[in-house]
Structure 1
Amino acid sequence: MPFSCIIFNDDLLAAEQLVEYLGALPLLNLVKTFSSPVKAMEELHHLIANNQLSNPGLERPSILVKLSGKNRAVKLYIDDIILIEGASNYIKIHTKDKLYVPYNKMSAMENELRNYNNFKRISRSFIISSLYIEKVDGYHIKLKNELAVSVSKLYRPAFDSFLMELLNSRP
């Protein structure tokens, strides 16, 4: 079974030589060559999210969320999470397919997602995923699945930086 391969290299001559070398290896399938790491990561995310790139040795990043009741938990894939909504002593996790309501704190979820750059806390009550932003109008955000949220005043400076970074990383 061939493995999929993607090249990241801003040295075009080195990239061409690597393409030639990979062409001689029957177990490697070159998917694409990139000179920009940002574009490469965007393309990788798109390919994996749409199941166009298999990853036999790697599993999609996920978190295990404890549900109410004894010994109940669910594995949620990071790239399926659209929005996390805080509500007193529990949270609502909106995913592409389902709504989960575990007993948890927003601060705990924020901490759990801290290594994933696509998540941003925009108020005391909301953490959003940039992967599902459909529209930003000032500080009003429309997400997929007809979800709409607003950025609170306290979180606006951080959101401004987050949005600028998103816009600058797009081709």
Structure 2
Amino acid sequence: MSDRIYANELQLQQRWSSWTPGYRQVPGASRGVRGVTMDDLSLAELESRCQQRGLRSSANLRDILEALIAGPDHPDAETLHQWLRSRGRRVSLTTVYRKLSHLVAAGVVSAHHFGSAKARYEITAAHDHLIDISTGRIIEFSEPRLNALEEKIAAQMGYRIVRKRVALYAVPIE
């Protein structure tokens, strides 16, 4: 990935599209419309969640949370850094990595490895992923019947699910 800083949002969005085609598809939302998955958490709610989990509020933390809400979908740390810089935020890549690791440890942000070495980040929310392996597009979904089946299977085996991660790797049906 280039170290180039993009001058405006359009350049960054065009570059982001070449890195990861497609944006999140949430039921009821059009392509490219952002929000925080199923919960629609606000920046204030996320800051409150951070404080409850012992993270100190700072301008950099707020900027990173804002980028995760309004910026590119499932970005890696470098993409987040470039997005922040394109908006005039003065934050180092090291700070982005450090803040992301704190947010992941606190459970506010989730890190995913969708078949690549780079972690991809998002606000922690209850949903699953379908990855189109032909394009790299990541589609979020929530299916109550799948969740109920997982709970039922765990209970039959004498367990209670405390954390889960579902990623379906697929190709379009022709």
- Fold-level match, TM-score > 0.5? no
Considering fraction of residues, name the structure with more strand: 1
Relative contact order (alpha carbons < 8 A, sep ≥ 6): 1 or 2 greater? 2
Considering fraction of residues, name the structure with more helix: 2
Structure of greater Rg: 1
